[in-house]
Amino acid sequence: MPDSKNPSSSKNSATLAMVEAAFLASTTGMLFLVNYYFPMGPFLRMFFPTPTALAYLRWGKRAAWMTTTVSFLLLSVLMGPTRSIQFLIPHGLQGIMLGYLWRRRSPWSVSIFLGTILGSLGALFQLVFVSFLLGENVWVYITVQLTNFVAWVMQSVGSIDLPDLWLVQVLAAIGIVFSNVMYQFLVHLVAWLLLDRLGNPISPAPKWLQALLD
């Protein structure tokens, strides 16, 4: 933390915060870029919010917003505004939110719950956004494919009934929420193991998880 009575110390801290924010932003951009061209499932995606959250833990809100903004601009140059928007919503905003919660030592139940809400809303935004870009309703395509899969499963067990559309849509929505819960858990687990070694620990893991890992 900068010394408010020492202008030189404050200036040096501000410079260091800016340098670290730029480094963390470039790290985020590299992770997003590599994952786009060489997708590895959740392996790299679980790191997307971590650099921004680390900036918040080390330097506060301004550095976190700076990291997200620079990441957004960098990806806009490298991949275009479409991909940069898909990074910003939800991963950039999740990094800021998680950094805020972790710095205040919020329990995992709270940060995973809020992260799941933001991630699910982000998934909804991406569906609308991609549908707008393609000129087609992606949600309809997903529900049709899921309906065909559920119908195949039902036929495999001897049923000739077709699944109701509302049931398929409910299953799709539950799948989105569940995937975001698991994603947030992985993000928290990786951050808990990694950031503690960097000297910026997040909220402590639940006791059952600590006992399991021990």
Range of the domain at 30: 7-213
Q: Is residue 168 part of a domain?
A: yes
Q: Is residue 2 part of a domain?
A: no
Q: Is residue 1 part of a domain?
A: no
Q: Is the per-residue pLDDT at 108 higher than 50? A: yes
Q: What is the pLDDT of residue 137?
A: 87
- What is the rounded average pLDDT of the residues 100-111? 95
CB of 122 closer than 8 Å to CB of 176: no
Q: Is residue 126 part of a domain?
A: yes
Q: How many domains does the chain have?
A: 1
Q: Is residue 102 part of a domain?
A: yes
Check residues 2 and 130 and name the one with the higher pLDDT.
130
Q: Is residue 188 part of a domain?
A: yes
Q: What is the pLDDT of residue 3?
A: 45
Q: Is residue 170 part of a domain?
A: yes
Its pTM stands at 0.87
| Close Cβ partners of 176 (under 8 Å, ≥ 6 residues apart) | 120, 123, 124
Distance CA 104, CA 196 (A): 15
- What is the rounded average pLDDT of the residues 151-157? 79
Q: Is residue 136 part of a domain?
A: yes
Rounded to whole angstroms, what are the CA distances from 18 to 59, 98, 151, 211?
9, 20, 55, 38
